[in-house]
Amino acid sequence: MEKYIVKGGKPLKGEVYISGAKNSAVALLPATVLAKDICILENVPDISDIRKEIEILKEMGAKVRRISPSVLEIDTSTLDTTTVPMELGVKFRASYYFLGSLLSCYGKGSVPMPGGCDLGARPIDQHLKAFMALGAEYDLDDAMVNVSTNDLQGAHVFFDTISVGATINAMLAASMAKGTTILENVAKEPHVVDVANFLNTMGADIRGAGTDVIKIRGVEKMHGATYTVVPDQIEAGTFMVAAAATRGDVMIKNVIPEHLESITSKLRSTGAIVEEFDEAVHVIGVDEYNSTNIKTMPHPGFPTDLQSVMGVLLCLAKGTSIITESIWDSRFKYCDELNKMGASIKVEGRVAVFEGVDSLRPAPVKATDLRAGAALIVAALTTEGASEITEIQHVERGYVDIVKKIRALGGDIVKVDIPENDYLKKAY
């Protein structure tokens, strides 16, 4: 069993290069289905979710070649099925993006119900609402979602709730529908814009991504394209908080500062120093942090994917801080793990109250989900002593070379597959 051993107490210092956005890339790979051609995707993060999607594409008949660790060549002209294999698709949530692409391109598609991190219910009702508005039908059969249509027609869709997944799936489905589709109450996250830009590069006609209304004029055919994935907003935010929490000094490169405004604002409110440049942010930690309150919101609000990491800093801030989670209903499982490390956190439903402590202590903890795992790494980096983090497969779903990047900043972290007692005796 693999685990991380983290020996904290050292401030992170130096430069770190941010990889391509996980949340964008997992939608771009299914989008290549629409091309029936060769697409080249650059700055693709080499993470387990992407490797799973590559397996799916290959199982469906596509040809995928890794030109370099971050560049993929994908030929979907040889696709020979519209069914995503159960054993692969059930493993992660983003497999549902194949529904929109397959429906648009082939008029039908079958995908397992979404998996991924256990963050509570992950309904796809808004996805299905969009598909039905466009003229599709669906049924559920043995944990598979099956969609089909005789003819997709443009439609007016108003989403009941803001959903990144539903917004992207609707764009995929509508790209080759006849006529014009208008999507309202849509998600505005950077990866939504990235998917729209990629689709347009393939020949789609999508306008308004990043605003409240997206207009899609259906096209008859799309084609291959070369496209570069945007930098990962969440990875960048993770390293920003890690720099602050360890009282470090880190230049975070290959970022779009505008995507980071909410985390930059909250870090500054705690007292951390954040300097912005054209494609970089510089974070300098301070001796004492102020408490602050956070409410997760759809973009441009504070991202839910960063609340657990930010929670680590609030553990170390003076006074009382409150995090209100408005997106997922089971996102505070990491708080129990932080409490094992000496934090003082009380959770009631979707609200967590953080009472600042002088320091955290090392402890054996487990990653309950992807972002919780990142938070525990940051927490362990602040402690004096060695911590063990298990269930690290969650972390490696979303972070490229996280061990290597942290070590390059002076952090003491290793991945091991031996009993921690043996390792601790040998290493520490």
> Which of 266, 271, 272 shows the shortest CA–CA distance to 293?
266
Tens digits of residue pLDDT in 133-151 = 999 999 988 789 999 999 9
Q: What is the CATH number of domain 22-228?
A: 3.65.10.10
- Dist CA 308 CA 298 (whole Å): 16
> Which of 413, 425, 352, 420 shows the shortest CA–CA distance to 10?
413
pLDDT of residue 240: 98
Determine the average pLDDT of the residues in 339-355.
Answer: 97
DSSP states of 12-42 as a string?
Answer: -EEEEE--B-HHHHHHHHHHGGGGSSEEEEE
Is the separation of the CB atoms in 166 and 195 below 8 Å? Answer: no
More confident residue, 423 or 256: 256
Fold match flag (3-19+231-427 vs 22-228): yes
Least confident of 38-42, 362-366, 395-399: 395-399
- Dist CA 59 CA 54 (whole Å): 9
Is the separation of the CB atoms in 250 and 13 below 8 Å? Answer: yes
> Nearest 10 degrees: CA dihedral of 310, 283, 188, 172?
-100
Tens digits of residue pLDDT in 152-177 = 999 999 999 999 999 999 999 999 99
Confidence grade of residue 420 (pLDDT, cut at 50, 70, 90) = low
pLDDT of residue 149: 97
326: number of Cβ within 10 Å: 14
Tens digits of residue pLDDT in 218-270 = 999 999 999 999 999 999 999 999 999 999 999 999 999 999 999 999 999 99
Confidence grade of residue 330 (pLDDT, cut at 50, 70, 90) = confident
Residue 117 annotated to the active site: yes
- Dist CA 417 CA 213 (whole Å): 49
Residues 6+ apart with CB under 8 A from 132: 138
Annotated domain spans of the chain: 3-19+231-427, 22-228
Is the separation of the CB atoms in 75 and 69 below 8 Å? Answer: no
Superfamily of 3-19+231-427 according to CATH: Enolpyruvate transferase domain (3.65.10.10)
Q: Of residues 39, 105, 117, 335, which has the active-site annotation? A: 117
